[in-house]
């Protein structure tokens, strides 16, 4: 028996020496079997191609549906412009709410790897259902005969939206986990790998937009010209490839152990703080409860240093005389560690930054709704070639693909010399630049619409639901500006919510960042509903009628530009007051 204990002690001592020498990761990551991992054999850039390949194919599948969905709803399911726009933004909003489900499962129980695997299967089933609904004659409405367009039957609606919302559920397990899983491949305790992690987020977003570029150009053309069955079938095939790419890199991945339910831990802090609300918090923060060894009580998490804000929550970590005498510190509903308290503080501190992302996401939602409907009422021909209006979103993608390497390879090194920051600009500075560009984007869209309506009036086309002879390429500046705003705001959000989140809540915080996109879509739908309600009172045509030549879509764009500017001012105040996380 003694020899076994001796052998175990020798093994542990050897492992400690290896960790101290830098052979093993220092962030608690393990291999597929749960063993500590050697840096040289796992993770880093060698594991990333499989994750980036998965994300590229999955986003190609998603945007293959989302980019032209408003066209399918209007042309094939025969919905009106406002109804189709609401359905698209509601579905997209749902796609960014479901990540909360996947995030909780990943952080608490399954881990990011198995969550991605399970929800990818649901996603693939949804893609196949959608393909069948667009391919089998009995599952889609009959074509229009002249101006008479038969409505879809309830059964046809059920099959189509069942597939659509299976995709929304599937994406909920992938979106909050893939970016965090990719960032997990870089050791947070290694300065060199930490810098590489900053580049990973840039190239992660780059891979997203490679998939989106193919979708918004080639797939949109196939859907409009070769049929929707094939146009939905190709994305389904790529979703299958995404699953294959992800599993191929299993032996190279680094895994973080799930740390238990983050929601439960937050509730424990609030209950414990309330129970001890009448106790005085000691001036010396070292008297607050924390584990004595180097490891946090939370699986897979480093300890967090005590902060002075929100001191009312520190009551949860006060050790009472009764607890000291009994030596029983095991009830988490009465006593929480400083690290557990700091987790909740971090989420509260991040909330104002998170909230300001909602208006930006409402602006971003216009790319797949109002920008497309605006393009439908413009001249889509260049010579003998017809450009599908939804494919103009490829210029947003081209903009992202252009700016990501420029930002990573040119702007960051230059900015680093002036700011002395590893990544050039801080995440907060980067996001602020993006919010400013979003104001310019909506202003550009409004100016194009003013010109289009002016031409419609001059040519006496106001009462006719026909395209105005102004070339659709005039929309390029608004798409290009939106892409530049994305590179700053969305990638900045990815970095911010990964770096500033507690170690055991990274999937949840990624989901919360995605939730801004969801709420932005819902906000867009809400604003659209209010605009239609107030502008159609008294029998008025309104800003956004089915015949946009009679409306004032430019007013809607100016409204969003004004909201974006106000949002930017609020963000600037919140970012100036934000206190960074401190991990031991």
Please check whether residues 356 and 487 belong to one and the same domain.
Answer: yes
For the domain that residue 402 is a member of, what is the CATH number?
A: 1.20.1250.20
Q: Do 213 and 203 share a structural domain?
A: yes
pLDDT: which is higher, 396 or 17: 396
pTM of the model: 0.75
- pLDDT tens profile 241-285: 999 889 888 888 888 888 778 888 889 999 999 988 888 888 888
SS3 sequence of 409-442 = HHHHHHHHHHHCCCCCCCHHHHHHHHHHHHHHHH
224 & 313 share domain: no
What average pLDDT does range 330-343 have in this prediction?
86
Q: Are residues 423 and 566 in the same domain?
A: yes
The residues, any chain, with a CB within 8 Å of residue 74's CB and separated by 6 or more, are: 80, 81, 84
Question: In the structure, what pLDDT confidence band is assigned to residue 6 with cuts at 50, 70 and 90?
Answer: low
Q: What is the pLDDT of residue 442?
A: 93
Among 93-97, 170-174, 185-189, 290-294, the least confident range: 290-294
Q: What is the pLDDT of residue 445?
A: 92
Neighbouring CB atoms inside 10 A of 113's CB total: 19
Residue 458 has pLDDT above 80, yes or no: yes
Same domain, yes or no, for 523 and 383? yes
Q: What is the mean pLDDT of residues 337-341?
A: 88
* Predicted confidence (pLDDT) per residue in 105-163, tens digit: 888 888 889 999 999 999 999 999 999 988 888 877 777 667 777 777 788 888 888 99
Percent of the chain with pLDDT over 70: 93
Of 336, 348, 309, 308, the residue nearest 501 (C-alpha) = 348
**pLDDT score recorded for residue 1:** 44
Mean pLDDT, rounded, for 25-31: 73
Which residues, 6+ apart, have CB-to-CB distance to 186 below 8 Å? 43, 44, 193, 194, 196, 197, 200
Q: What is the mean pLDDT of residues 353-360?
A: 91
- Please give the pLDDT value at position 81: 75
CB 46 within 8 A of CB 220: no
Strand partners, 378: 468
Domain check: are 202 and 167 in the same one?
yes
- Note the pLDDT of residue 303: 81
Is residue 298 predicted with pLDDT exceeding 80?
no
In a domain, 17, yes or no: no
Same domain for 277 and 250, yes or no, is no
Report CA-CA distances (Å) from 187 to 115, 256, 265.
22, 11, 25
Query: Mean of the pLDDT values across residues 397-408?
Result: 86
Cα 415 to Cα 423: distance, rounded to the nearest angstrom? 8
Integer Cα distance of 149 and 527 in angstroms: 29
Tokens of 124: 């693939």
Domain boundary among 343, 361, 386: 343
Q: 63: exposed, middle or buried (C-beta count within 10 Å: 0-12, 13-18, 19+)?
A: buried
User: Per-residue pLDDT for 21 more than 70?
Assistant: no
- Answer yes or no: are the C-beta atoms of 35 and 255 closer than 8 Å: no
> Residue-wise over 2-12: b if at least 16 C-beta within 10 A, else e?
eeeeeeeeeee
Residue 450 lies in a domain: yes
User: Rounded distance, CA 309 to CA 345, Å?
Assistant: 8
- The pLDDT value recorded for residue 558 is 93
Tell me which residue of 495, 523, 520, 522 sits closest to 509, measured CA to CA.
495
Q: Would you state the structure tokens that stand for residue 3, as one six-digit string?
A: 């020899």
**Which residue segment(s) compose the domain that 545 sits in?**
347-583
The region of weakest confidence among 6-10, 313-317, 330-334 is: 6-10
3-state helix, strand, coil in the chain (%, to 5): 70, 5, 25
Q: Are residues 300 and 405 in the same domain?
A: no
Domain end: 316, 343, 370, which one? Answer: 343
Confidence band for 18, pLDDT divided at 50, 70 and 90: very low
How much is the pLDDT for 581? 72
Q: Is 424 a member of any domain?
A: yes
How many Å is the Cα radius of gyration of the chain? 26
Q: Model confidence at 319, in pLDDT bands (50, 70, 90)? A: confident
Same domain, 534 and 408: yes
Residue that terminates a domain, selected from 234, 260, 286: 260
Kind and range of the H or E run holding 154? helix 154-183
In a domain, 1, yes or no: no
Distance CA 465, CA 456 (A): 10
Question: Is residue 6 one of the residues assigned to a domain?
Answer: no
Q: Give the position of tokens 């194919």.
A: 57
Say whether pLDDT at 334 is over 90.
no
Structure tokens at 309: 């804000």
Residue 399: the pLDDT is 87
Q: Smallest Cα–Cα separation from 111: which of 262, 297, 255?
A: 255
Q: Is the pLDDT of residue 225 over 80?
A: yes
Q: Which of 242, 208, 246 is nearest to 51 (CA)?
A: 246
Q: Given pLDDT bands bounded at 50, 70 and 90, which one contains residue 300?
A: low
**Cα–Cα distance measured from residue 138 to residue 20, given in angstroms and rounded to the nearest whole number:** 66
Domain total in the chain: 3
CA atoms of 42 and 253, how far apart (whole Å):
6
For residue 9, tell me if it sits in a domain.
no
Q: What is the bridge-based pairing of β-strands 378-379 and 468-471?
A: parallel
* CA gap 376, 368 in Å, rounded: 12
Chain mean pLDDT for the chain: 83
Convert 345-365 into a string of H (helix), E (strand) and C (coil).
HHHHHHHHHHHCHHHHHHHHH
Least confident residue range of 54-68, 322-336, 480-494: 322-336
One domain for residues 534 and 397: yes
> pLDDT tens across 459-470, in order?
888 888 888 888
- How much is the average pLDDT of 219-248? 88
* 548's tokens: 């946009």
CA distances from 270 to 208, 295, 506, 581 (A): 38, 23, 20, 20
Residue labelled with tokens 């070292």:
286
Residue in this structure with the two tokens 């939804």, named with its chain if needed: 390
20 inside domain: no
State whether 270 and 390 are in the same domain: no
Question: Is pLDDT above 50 for 419?
Answer: yes
Read off the pLDDT band of 509 (50, 70, 90).
confident
CB atoms within 10 A of CB 485: 28
Q: Check if the beta carbon of residue 507 is closer than 8 Å to that of residue 180.
A: yes
- Decide if pLDDT at 9 tops 70: no
Q: What is the per-residue pLDDT across 76-108, written as a single tens digit (0 to 9) for each?
A: 887 777 778 788 878 887 887 888 888 888 888
Q: Mind listing the pLDDT tens digit for each residue in 378-390?
A: 888 887 788 878 7
Q: Give residue for tokens 């489900």.
A: 101
pLDDT, tens digit, 9 for 90 and up, residues 194-209: 777 778 888 888 888 8
The CA distance from 351 to 358, in Å, is 12
Would you state the pLDDT for residue 560? 93
How many Cβ atoms from other residues are within 10 Å of residue 385's Cβ? 8
Let me know whether 217 and 305 are in one domain: no
Is the pLDDT higher at 236 or at 94? 236
For residues 235 and 462, the answer to whether their CB atoms sit within 8 Å is no
Nearest by Cα to 517 from 6, 27, 66, 3: 66
Q: Is residue 146 part of a domain?
A: yes
Tell me the β-bridge partners of 381. Answer: 386
What single string gives the DSSP state of each residue in 268-290?
HHHHHHHHTTTSPPPSSGGGS--
């Amino acid at each position: 028996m003694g020899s076994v204990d001796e052998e175990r002690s020798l093994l542990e001592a050897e492992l400690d020496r290896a960790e101290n020498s830098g052979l093993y990761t220092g962030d608690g990551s393990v291999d597929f079997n749960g063993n500590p991992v050697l840096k040289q054999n796992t993770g880093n850039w060698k594991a990333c191609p499989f994750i980036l390949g998965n994300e590229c194919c999955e986003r190609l599948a998603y945007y293959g549906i989302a980019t032209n969905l408003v066209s399918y709803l209007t042309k094939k399911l025969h919905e009106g412009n406002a109804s189709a726009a609401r359905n698209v933004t509601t579905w997209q909003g749902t796609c960014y709410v479901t990540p909360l489900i996947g995030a909780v499962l990943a952080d608490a129980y399954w881990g990011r790897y198995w969550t991605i695997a399970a929800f990818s299967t649901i996603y693939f089933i949804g893609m196949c259902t959608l393909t069948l609904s667009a391919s089998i004659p009995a599952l889609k409405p009959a074509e229009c005969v002249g101006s008479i367009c038969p409505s879809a039957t309830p059964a046809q609606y059920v099959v189509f939206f069942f597939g659509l919302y299976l995709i929304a559920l599937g994406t909920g397990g992938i979106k909050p986990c893939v970016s965090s899983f990719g960032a997990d491949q870089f050791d947070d305790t290694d300065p060199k790998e930490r810098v590489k992690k900053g580049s990973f987020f840039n190239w992660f977003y780059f891979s997203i937009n490679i998939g989106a570029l193919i979708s918004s150009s080639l797939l949109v053309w196939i859907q409009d010209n070769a049929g929707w069955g094939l146009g939905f079938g190709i994305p389904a095939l790529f979703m299958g490839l995404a699953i294959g790419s992800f599993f191929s890199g299993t032996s190279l991945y680094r895994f973080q152990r799930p740390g238990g339910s983050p929601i439960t831990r937050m509730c424990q802090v609030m209950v414990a703080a309330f129970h001890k609300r009448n106790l005085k918090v000691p001036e010396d923060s070292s008297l607050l409860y924390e584990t004595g060894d180097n490891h946090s009580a939370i699986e897979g998490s480093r300890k967090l240093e005590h902060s002075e804000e929100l001191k009312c929550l520190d009551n949860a970590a006060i050790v009472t005389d009764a607890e000291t005498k009994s030596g029983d510190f095991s009830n988490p509903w009465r006593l929480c560690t400083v690290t557990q308290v700091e987790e909740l503080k971090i989420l509260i501190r991040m909330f104002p930054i998170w909230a300001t992302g909602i208006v930006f996401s409402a602006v971003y939602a216009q790319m797949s709704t109002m920008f497309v409907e605006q393009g439908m009422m413009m001249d889509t021909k260049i010579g003998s070639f017809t450009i599908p209006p939804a494919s103009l979103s490829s210029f947003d993608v081209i903009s992202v693909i252009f700016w990501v390497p420029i930002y990573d390879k040119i702007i960051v090194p230059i900015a680093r010399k002036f700011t002395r920051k590893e990544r050039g600009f801080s995440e907060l500075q980067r996001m602020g630049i993006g919010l400013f560009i979003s104001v310019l984007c909506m202003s550009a869209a409004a100016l194009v619409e003013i010109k289009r309506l002016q031409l419609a009036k001059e040519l006496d086309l106001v009462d006719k639901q026909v395209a105005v002879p102004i070339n659709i390429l005039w929309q390029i500046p608004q798409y290009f500006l939106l892409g530049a705003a994305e590179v700053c705001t969305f990638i900045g959000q990815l970095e911010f919510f990964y770096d500033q989140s507690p170690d055991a809540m990274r999937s949840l915080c990624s989901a919360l960042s995605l939730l801004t996109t969801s709420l932005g879509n819902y906000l867009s739908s809400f604003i659209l509903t209010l605009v239609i309600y107030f502008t159609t009172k008294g029998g008025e045509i309104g800003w956004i009628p089915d015949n946009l030549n009679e409306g004032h879509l430019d007013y809607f764009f100016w409204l969003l530009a004004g909201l974006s500017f106000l949002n930017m001012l609020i963000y600037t105040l919140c970012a100036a007051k934000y206190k960074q996380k401190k991990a031991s």
